[in-house]
């Protein structure tokens, strides 16, 4: 973990894809990982956004509170990334990491384009309600309808530091579709459990299902054998994580003292008229945050 805040970004597939996910779980869940990761890396690298190479952990969940299929990816992302050449640690320009509206559009385009390729190569399975999608024209119409929807990408506020991130990961990485504390009763024929209705004010409700329906819903969240549901991307990939985390810690450590010193000098009215570290002219003005100060100062030369 890095000594920086962490963001939480969630990519969700529209429910129109649920039937295809039932029949092509390995292919579509793998595509969900790849499309969401490529979206994050591409948008973050754009100089108009963050202009940095980021790293993040992605975790697949397939369920909603009512146990129906709801495939989505949780991304845990350090606030910032490497500049070109790994010479500087780039911090977010705004209170959020990346704009969710941009992430949504890019994610939808990447996923649908790859889905079209899978269909053209004959790799998708169709049965029952999706049988008609074998036809290329009908599948094209299906994809057009997907483009008419706004795909949900949700960014939660920053976690805070590493301790909060570790607590979050401990709860989420090995969570199953329903935990024991949500199960209320079983009378031999029906199962009653507690769930939260996020669509209606996050209200807590009770749901009763036949045992057969309860098991049917639960079985939809059994992943294909050997499927990896926790993956690392960007500078956190397994092949180079150790080396790049060491570099990141060094860059973060050199930037933070410079920010703190400049901030202290800026609020001291008796300070010199030139910053002792960047030598930029100083004048009394509004209180500035460390991030605002950094944007106005040249990088600190530790030599």
Rounded to whole angstroms, the Cα distance separating 280 from 300 reads 11
Percent helix / strand / coil, the chain, rounded to 5: 45, 20, 35
pLDDT at position 286 over 70: no
Strand partners of residue 209: 191
pLDDT at position 201 over 90: no
pLDDT at site 177: 85
Q: Which uninterrupted H or E stretch holds 63?
A: strand 55-63
Closest CA to 68 of 15, 115, 112: 15
Q: Are 43 and 108 in contact (CB under 8 A)?
A: no
Closest CA to 234 of 42, 13, 98: 42
pLDDT at site 57: 92
Closest CA to 236 of 30, 12, 39, 37: 37
pLDDT at position 180 over 70: yes
Closest CA to 205 of 217, 221, 194: 194
pLDDT at position 2 over 50: yes
pLDDT digits (tens, 9 = 90+) for 273-282: 556 666 666 6
**pLDDT band per the 50, 70, 90 thresholds, residue 285:** low
pLDDT at site 270: 42
Phi, psi of 200 (to 5 degrees): -130, 65
Rounded to whole angstroms, the Cα distance separating 83 from 95 reads 19
pLDDT at site 110: 96
Q: Are 277 and 263 in contact (CB under 8 A)?
A: no
Task: Report the percentage of the chain scoring pLDDT > 70.
Answer: 82
List all residues 6 or more positions away from 286 whose beta carbon is below 8 Å from its beta carbon.
none
Question: Nearest 5°: CA angle at 196, between 95 and 74?
Answer: 40
- Name the residue with higher pLDDT: 264 or 149: 149
Average pLDDT in the chain: 83
pLDDT at position 13 over 90: yes
Q: Which uninterrupted H or E stretch holds 215?
A: helix 211-219
pTM exceeds cut of 0.75: yes
pLDDT digits (tens, 9 = 90+) for 206-259: 999 999 999 999 999 999 999 999 999 999 998 888 889 999 998 888 765 444
pLDDT at site 253: 84
148 CB burial (10 A radius; 0-12, 13-18, 19+): exposed
Q: Are 16 and 55 in contact (CB under 8 A)?
A: no
């Amino acid at each position: 973990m890095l000594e920086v805040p962490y963001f939480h970004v969630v990519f969700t597939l529209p429910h129109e894809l649920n039937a295809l996910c039932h029949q092509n779980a390995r292919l579509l869940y793998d595509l969900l990982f790849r499309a969401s990761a490529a979206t994050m890396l591409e948008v973050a690298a754009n100089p108009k956004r963050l202009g940095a190479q980021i790293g993040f952990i992605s975790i697949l969940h397939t369920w909603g509170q009512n146990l129906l299929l709801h495939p989505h990816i949780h991304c845990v992302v350090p606030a910032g990334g490497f500049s070109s050449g790994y010479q500087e640690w780039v911090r977010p320009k705004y209170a959020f990491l990346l704009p969710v509206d941009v992430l949504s559009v890019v994610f939808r385009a990447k996923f649908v384009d790859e889905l079209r390729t899978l269909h053209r190569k004959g790799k998708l399975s169709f049965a029952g309600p999706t049988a008609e999608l074998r036809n290329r024209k009908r599948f094209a119409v299906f994809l057009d309808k997907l483009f008419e929807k706004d795909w949900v990408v949700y960014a939660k506020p920053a976690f805070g530091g590493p301790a909060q991130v570790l607590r979050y990961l401990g709860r989420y990485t090995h969570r199953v579709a329903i935990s024991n504390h949500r199960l209320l009763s079983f009378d031999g024929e029906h199962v009653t459990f507690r769930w939260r209705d996020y669509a209606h004010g996050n209200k807590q409700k009770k749901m009763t299902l036949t045992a057969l329906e309860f098991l049917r819903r639960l079985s939809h969240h059994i992943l294909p054998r050997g499927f990896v549901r926790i993956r690392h991307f960007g500078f956190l990939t397994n092949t180079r994580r150790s080396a790049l985390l060491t570099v990141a810690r060094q860059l973060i450590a050199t930037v933070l003292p410079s920010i703190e010193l400049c901030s202290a000098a800026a609020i001291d009215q008796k300070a010199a008229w030139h910053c002792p570290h960047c030598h930029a002219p100083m004048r009394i003005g509004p209180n500035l945050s460390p991030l605002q100060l950094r944007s106005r100062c040249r990088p600190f030369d530790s030599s």
